Amino acid sequence: MNILVLGSGGREHAISWALAKSPQCDNLYVAPGNGGTSAIATNVAGLSAESGQDVLAFAQEHAIEMVVIGPEAPLVAGVADVLREAGIAVFGPNAQGAQLEGSKTYSKRFMEANNIPTARYKSFTDADEARAFCEELGAPLVVKADGLAAGKGVIVADTLEVALEAVDSCFSGSFGEAGQTVVVEEMLTGPECSLLAFVSNGKAFCMAPAQDHKRAFDGDLGPNTGGMGVYSPVPIVTKEEMATMYDVMETAAAATAKDPFTFDYRGCLYGGFMLTPDGPQVLEFNARFGDPETQVVLPRLQGDLVDIMYAVAQGRPEDIKLSWSDKWAVSVVLASEGYPGSYEKGKVILGVSEAEALDDVIVFHAGTAVNEDGELITAGGRVLNVVALGDTFEQAREQAYRACDLINFEGKQFRTDIGKKALQGRSAWE
């Protein structure tokens, strides 16, 4: 089978790596891809991933039988709709389904209509009304730009002043069109947990849970990032919490296939949960695989990802069977100095093959490229995801950090405490 993956991050490297392992995978293309995908697939430069017509033209020219859409923007832009219309199997929901991520108001209404536990909220298109609701709720509270804002549109406000500033900033255009509608909600507390599920024809098949580390620096300090490290499974989650999260994902999947929200959801549904004292509540749904969650979830998946994704894409949930390795997976992100602020690119990266030579270590590339001299260089804020598997959580952590020490580039920045809190147990969050 010829397969096209859209995207360029560590998530897409991990997806491509898992697809490339399948004997069914003939030609694998990644558009645009990165320095890591170029070693296992053909990178396609210059293809506009958000244009359904461009992707369709490429797919027809290269006899592509399945397109896997990594990031949210092409999903929201309706690329899956165009491809399906032309008879090509697609892993990824249609534009309507992608609104679960593309509009926080839509997503909240979906949750409300299906009794999915989530923070109390209201949605506004008028700044004065939003401000009045902030005053009514009182701090702490959370202000969210409704649309896609590259992970930057959520402001957790400890004081009313910060919340009011966030409302003004949204309506004054800081997030463009995405901020012209604003969701204000109560602040929840507790550890976070991501649960991804394959969803097809109203059925959910949950993957293994994972926990991301969003802050830039050790001790959960510093600005929010796209994720600095992650592990799977998540030892601090109780059986009861896990059961509730499964139930939520199944309820959400079933709701995609019935009134009043019917849409064609064949792809990955990402549930972002907070484990509150009142039980797990949904912070957000995403219409795609998580990044960096995918980088620890897929290495633990046993079986053939081509089979699974093709069954999802063709709407054959009865053919989806998942099983998981007992190993623990820990991933540490190596980032460029200055990330998530501004950073330099083009630094030569050394030591990746030495790291990969360690037992049970995989290095997924995020922001890398290969220069004219054939050297691997940095090309983004998050550069590499160093993943290690281990029989115990500690072993996986130690091996991941051993591998991180072997890799060098100027300005290498990483957190040294990925997984540390989880080792201390649930009390570390109190």
Interacting partner of 227 out of ligand AMP, ligand GLY, none (Cβ under 5 to 8 A depending on kind): ligand GLY
Give the binding range for ligand GLY (CB under 6 A) out of 174-182, 235-243, 284-292, 409-417: 284-292
Minimum CB separation from ligand AMP for residue 124, in Å? 16
Interacting partner of 229 out of ligand AMP, ligand GLY, none (Cβ under 5 to 8 A depending on kind): none
Q: Say whether residue 286 binds ligand GLY (CB under 6 A).
A: yes
Minimum CB separation from ligand AMP for residue 158, in Å? 11
Q: Say whether residue 212 binds ligand GLY (CB under 6 A).
A: yes
Interacting partner of 154 out of ligand GLY, ligand AMP, none (Cβ under 5 to 8 A depending on kind): ligand AMP
Q: What angle do CA 124, 126, 130 make, to 5 degrees?
A: 60
Asked whether 56 and 49 are in contact (CB, 8 A), the reply is: no
**Which H or E element spans position 165?**
helix 160-171
Pick the binder of ligand GLY from 146, 241, 264, 293 (CB under 6 A). 293
CA 391 to chain centre: 25
Minimum CB separation from ligand GLY for residue 197, in Å? 14
What angle do the packed helices 95-102 and 104-113 form, to 10 degrees? 100
DSSP E strands, 147-290:
154-157, 182-186, 192-200, 203-206, 211-212, 215-217, 221-224, 229-232, 267-276, 279-286
Tell me the pairing of strands 3-7 and 28-32: parallel
Interacting partner of 142 out of ligand AMP, ligand GLY, none (Cβ under 5 to 8 A depending on kind): ligand AMP
- Give the CB-nearest residue to ligand GLY: 290
User: How far, in Å, are 101, 119, 162, 176, 382 from residue 171 at the CA level?
Assistant: 20, 22, 14, 9, 30
Closer residue to ligand AMP, CB minimum distance, 119 or 376:
119
Give the interface with ligand AMP as residue ranges (CB under 6 A): 119, 142, 144, 154, 156, 185, 187-188, 192, 214, 272, 283-284
Give the binding range for ligand GLY (CB under 6 A) out of 53-61, 199-207, 287-295, 361-369: 287-295
Closer residue to ligand AMP, CB minimum distance, 103 or 256:
103
Q: Say whether residue 12 binds ligand GLY (CB under 6 A).
A: no
Q: Say whether residue 290 binds ligand GLY (CB under 6 A).
A: yes
Q: Tell me the three state secondary structure of residue 267.
A: strand
Residue among 175, 13, 55, 28 nearest 104 (CA): 175
Q: How many helices (H) and strands (E) does the chain have?
A: 14, 24
Closer residue to ligand GLY, CB minimum distance, 9 or 33:
9
Give the binding range for ligand GLY (CB under 6 A) out of 22-30, 159-167, 286-294, 422-430: 286-294
Minimum CB separation from ligand GLY for residue 269, in Å? 12
User: How far, in Å, are 247, 297, 321, 327 from residue 302 at the CA level?
Assistant: 23, 10, 10, 11
Q: Which amino acid is at 147?
A: G
φ, ψ of residue 121 to 5 degrees: the values are -150, 170
What are the tokens at 215?
Answer: 């802050």
Chain positions 84 to 113 lying near ligand GLY, rule: CB under 6 A, are: none
Interacting partner of 283 out of ligand AMP, ligand GLY, none (Cβ under 5 to 8 A depending on kind): ligand AMP
Residue among 212, 202, 183, 192 nearest 276 (CA): 192
Q: Say whether residue 291 binds ligand GLY (CB under 6 A).
A: yes
Interacting partner of 156 out of ligand GLY, ligand AMP, none (Cβ under 5 to 8 A depending on kind): ligand AMP
- How many CB atoms neighbour CB 112 within 10 A? 11
Q: Say whether residue 227 binds ligand GLY (CB under 6 A).
A: yes
Closer residue to ligand AMP, CB minimum distance, 172 or 189:
189
Footprint on this chain of ligand GLY (rule: CB under 6 A): 212, 227, 286, 290-291, 293
